[in-house]
């Protein structure tokens, strides 16, 4: 295997043609280029030691997959949006060749993102999640889940489940369940009870360098990491969610900020009608042909 630094391209099916210009640019900048489509884990094992950058080409799901592969190896990642929402991806496909050139020239910064990990008894390695770990009832039944943070009781919830999300994942399932959006530069984890019966059971933000144990006191649940079901638990079973490896996300001077993404992707803080808050002119003619305030 060559010692030359390489750039890997993790492709969503159907994106092979779209990646060609970027692959050519990577080679022109002195990198080897490799692609992963059918067997990304095998490709990472083969090329990971020489990889200077992993480019994920697809939607947020492709980025999440690439992040879980790259973070344990310390490989920076840049996401290219080819999906519908693309909240996690900084680069559009037409700008990708230029982004490769900027990376080669060192014209970039990196932003750290925390991952979570859980240990599964029959797995050789911890299961990683960059968005969230979900412990949820298997059907429509209510379960009782005890949540401890560093062996200190946070609460016992009669609920559909609990979401434990990173700051990155705060804008995914956790947000849909009523949790707050958290800037990924904040070292925090969000714990969100799902449809809890207690009215005052609200999401809680805690430091990310803590262990969260979720114990099933009543019911049967599944455990999912970034949407992938990884285990089942019944009465007395528990899972410990720990800080995992950190991911480096490549960003450029014109990469969108977290606040701008909230506005652009979710329309956060944007009035439904721009005229709603404009002052009213009392001299405007009324619908009856007169002026407001007159008969």
Any catalytic annotation for residue 60? yes
Q: How far is CA 153 from the centre of its chain?
A: 27
Residue of 116, 68, 114 whose CA lies nearest to 212: 116
Asked if residue 207 lies in contact with residue 182, where contact means CB atoms within 8 angstroms, the answer is no
Q: How far is CA 91 from the centre of its chain?
A: 16
Residue of 194, 191, 192 whose CA lies nearest to 160: 194
Kind plus residue range of the DSSP H or E element containing 63: helix 60-70
Catalytic residue among 60, 90, 160, 226: 60
For 156-182, b/e burial (b = at least 16 CB within 10 A) is: bbbbbbbbbbbbbbbbbbbbebebebb
User: In sequence order, what E strands does 45-106 have?
Assistant: 51-58, 77-81, 91-92
Which residues form the catalytic set?
60
């Amino acid at each position: 295997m060559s010692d030359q630094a390489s750039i890997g391209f993790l492709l969503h099916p159907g994106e092979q043609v779209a990646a060609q210009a970027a692959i050519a640019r990577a080679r022109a900048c002195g990198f080897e280029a490799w692609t992963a489509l059918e067997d990304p884990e095998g490709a990472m094992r083969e090329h990971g030691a020489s990889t200077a950058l992993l480019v994920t080409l697809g939607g947020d799901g492709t980025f999440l997959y690439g992040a879980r592969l790259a973070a344990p190896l310390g490989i920076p990642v840049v996401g290219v949006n080819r999906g519908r929402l693309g909240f996690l991806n900084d680069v559009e496909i037409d700008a990708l060749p230029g982004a490769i050139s900027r990376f080669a020239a060192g014209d970039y910064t990196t932003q750290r993102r925390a991952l979570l990990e859980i240990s599964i008894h029959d797995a050789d390695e911890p299961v990683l999640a960059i968005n969230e770990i979900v412990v949820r009832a298997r059907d429509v039944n209510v379960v009782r889940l005890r949540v401890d943070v560093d062996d200190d009781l946070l609460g016992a919830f009669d609920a559909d489940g609990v979401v434990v999300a990173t700051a990155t994942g705060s804008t995914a399932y956790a947000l849909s369940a009523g949790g707050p959006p958290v800037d990924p530069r904040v070292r925090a984890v969000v714990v969100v009870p799902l449809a809890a019966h207690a009215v005052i059971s609200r999401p809680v933000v805690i430091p990310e360098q803590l262990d969260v144990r979720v114990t099933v006191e009543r019911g049967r649940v599944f455990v999912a990491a970034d949407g992938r079901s990884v285990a089942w638990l019944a009465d007395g079973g528990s899972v410990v969610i720990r800080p995992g490896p950190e991911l480096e996300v490549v960003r450029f001077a014109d990469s969108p900020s977290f606040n701008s993404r909230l506005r652009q992707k979710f329309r956060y803080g944007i009035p439904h009608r721009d005229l709603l808050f404009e002052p009213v002119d009392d001299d405007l003619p009324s619908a009856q042909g007169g002026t407001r305030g007159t008969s």
